[in-house]
Amino acid sequence: MFNLKYRWTRFWTRRGGVSGFGRLSAWLATLFVPPYKGRSHLARFAPQGFISPRAELQHTDIELGNNIFIGDRVQIYKTASGGAVRIKSGAALYSDITIETADSGTVTIGEETHIQPRCQLVAGKASIIIGKRVEIAPGCAMYPFNHGFSPGKKIREQPLVSRGDIVIDDDVWLGFGVIILDGVHIGEGAVIGAGSVVTHDIPANAIAVGNPARVVKMRSDSGA
């Protein structure tokens, strides 16, 4: 029975994709597979990886690498002026993630990067660029823009402003609920503690915590 279920799952996963038939194939592939991370191994069954039939890819400029995993209720959305979304090979996006591009902003997610549930990546005015093997815990948010708040004008009427792209280098770890604001560059191998709000650059291999986040030590100091 196990071999029969395995062959069934592998057969239909290989026929998955973003087309109507591909979405149906993905649904059939999951009939004997537990949800959430229990399905992440399906990404290895086919070069195109696995896209949940419950994901919503409402984007006209999306580039998907090999062996990616896109889980349930992931939304990838583009406004009329939004830029591209690029998800590189081996990346995994688990459930209830929102990725949106607007006002020429783009999103790039590097190879083998893992994004856990309930994260929001909204690229407006500037871009979000995430490197390789980045580990992003649940509930993180990235906004490379802000609303103006000058007096005499309603908030809804304020223009969007930005200090520049959000750039996260390779091998970074973001703890639960980290918020990253516009113009921030997080260096390779840095660790950002849970609940931190990152408003300024963080150097490579630093450990930063707090609101606003500040460097408390380097990884070399802790033996990490």
Task: Name the nearest CA neighbour of 80 among 107, 103, 56, 62.
Answer: 103
Residues 6+ apart with CB under 8 A from 119: 97, 98, 136, 138, 139, 140, 141
CA distance 99 to 92: 13
Do the strands 197-198 and 135-136 form a parallel or antiparallel pair, or are they unpaired? unpaired
Among 41, 59, 114, 147, the active-site one is 147
CA distance 19 to 175: 35
- Is the distance from CB of 189 to CB of 207 less than 8 angstroms? no
Question: Is 114 in the active site?
Answer: no
H helices present in the chain, as ranges: 2-13, 20-29, 219-222
Encoded amino acid at 222, one letter: S
Question: Among all residues, which ones are annotated catalytic?
Answer: 147
